[in-house]
Structure 1
Amino acid sequence: MKKILYIEDDPEIGRWTKDDLEKRGFAVEWLTSGDGAPERAADADIVVLDVMLPGLDGFTVGQRLKREAPQTPILMLSARAAVDDKLQGLRFADDYVTKPFHPDELAARIEVLLRRFGPNAGQEIRLKHLAVVPELQTVVDSRTGKEIPLTAKQLQILLYFLKHPNQILTKEQIYEAVWGEPYMEGDKTVMVHIRYLREKIELDPGEPAVIETIRGLGYRVKQ
């Protein structure tokens, strides 16, 4: 479980954001000011930091955090949308999101930073005849050296399998993780997308070896 240090003084935004991120599987420690942030950041995988804080502002807090923990990504949140404010934040922060923001966007930005700074950042995952680099979001046929063009949803499905290697994943799990919506029984969206994905990545789509079908249960990718 990835740990987020979340610094936000607005109680309504803070509670709503913390609850949403925890529902997505993150462990969130919420501070309402920058006091004690450097000590807490030592155990965090990422810092999500508001600009407008009591006492030291978010820019000052973020600069201190980056000096003390340069390998911990920082995502700035701010109602300030001016270019100058963004440039000031991006001098030390790794991403800058303006308020109001959609929770799906914030979660996606966090995932990108975690991949970029994670232990497997830039590393290649070998999967049968495929070479996948999640950070670069590339899938290459190692026999030819050519990149396999995937749609955004096809790539998300494959990366979701790689986050859960050797696990049997149901259509419901895949749909809700990739589409972010409740699964409706009988929906064939996942099945159709996996069929087209197999046509691109399997040596023999009729006898898939990368994405296995576990009859009556779901799908699995072995590593």
Structure 2
Amino acid sequence: MKERILVVEDEPTIATGLRDDLELEGFAVEVVDDGTAALSRILEEKFDLVLLDLMLPGMDGLTVCREARSKGRRTPIIILTAKGQEVDKVVGLELGADDYITKPFSRRELLARVKAVLRRGREDPGPGKVYGFADITVDTGRFEVTRRGERIELTATEFKLLQVFLEHRGRVMSIDELLREVWGRDAILTDRVVYTHINHLRNKLEENPQEPRFLVGVRGVGYRFDG
């Protein structure tokens, strides 16, 4: 069965180009041109990936991302940003987007990002392991994180990042290692993506994100998981 991608873009030329490039790669593509319709489709249907422009009529892309995550949708999201929208990139990642692409982008970059995010989403976690730290339980087989029985919602990328840390407890991991382990060797990303996702995990897992107990930064080297 073809993987389904929802393209949310109000510029007809860009939307058509995205549809054509993705369909040539064998994906099933649906296009919507405003944020309100996009959120409805994300909540109603199961997509394997959403390509989400930020500047949209009806509802902006950041709001779409926030609302989708607040309603428990873990569908991978790649946000499309224009040059100079650095703040929007960071906010988008903090709201739960998995990656971003800056316009204008090449077909090669687009497909590399799409395939990398889809690959993370469909990776087989294997038979599953259960990890525990403090009052938090992580079940990789069920793709579930709970605190005292209450579910903590993580995106696919956040879950993968946490899993990598748990598999290397006590060892300092460099930014390059984390990029390779979580996003893949062909990912075209900056260090900021790692920093933002780690901060997002801290906000969800740490009692005091400003003084983390588990996701500890080691200046000039990387990060260590001490749970």
Match of 1:99 among 94, 98, 103: 103
Q: Which has the higher contact order (CA 8 A, sep 6+)?
A: 2
User: Where does residue 113 of structure 2 map in the other structure?
Assistant: 109
- Say if 1:80 and 1:69 are closer, same or farther in 2 by CA, change over 3 A: farther
Alignment-mate amino acid for residue 15 of structure 2: G
* Alignment pair present for 1:30 and 2:28: no
Q: What is the CA deviation profile of residues 40-97 of structure 1, one whole-angstrom value per residue up to 9, with x for unaligned ones? A: 2232111100011112111111111222343210000011434322111111210011
- Say if 1:122 and 1:12 are closer, same or farther in 2 by CA, change over 3 A: same
Alignment RMSD: 2.3
Identity within the alignment, %: 43
Alignment of 1:59-208 (within 5 A): 59-91=62-94, 92-118=96-122, 120-123=123-126
Q: TM-score, normalised by structure 1?
A: 0.52
The structure 1 segments of at least 4 consecutive aligned residues displaced by more than 6 Å after TM superposition are none
Shift of 1:13: 0.6
Q: What is the CA deviation profile of residues 148-180 of structure 1, one whole-angstrom value per residue up to 9, with x for unaligned ones? A: xxxxxxx99xxxxxxxxxxxxxxxxxxxxxxxx
Corresponding residue pairs, total: 127
Distance 2:114 2:38 in 1: 18
Alignment of 1:39-78 (within 5 A): 39-41=40-42, 42-78=45-81
The higher radius of gyration belongs to 1
- Aligned partner of residue 75 in structure 2, secondary structure: coil
Distance 1:121 1:100 in 2: 33
Alignment-mate amino acid for residue 83 of structure 1: E
Alignment-mate amino acid for residue 69 of structure 2: K
Q: What is the CA deviation profile of residues 122-142 of structure 1, one whole-angstrom value per residue up to 9, with x for unaligned ones? A: 449xxxxxxxxxx99xxxxxx
Does the 8 A contact of 1:38 with 1:68 survive in 2? no
Distance 1:51 1:36 in 2: 14
Does the 8 A contact of 2:5 with 2:27 survive in 1? yes
Distance 1:33 1:14 in 2: 12
Structure 2: 5+ residue stretches without partners: 128-159, 162-184, 187-227
Q: TM-score, normalised by structure 2?
A: 0.51
Distance 2:37 2:93 in 1: 23
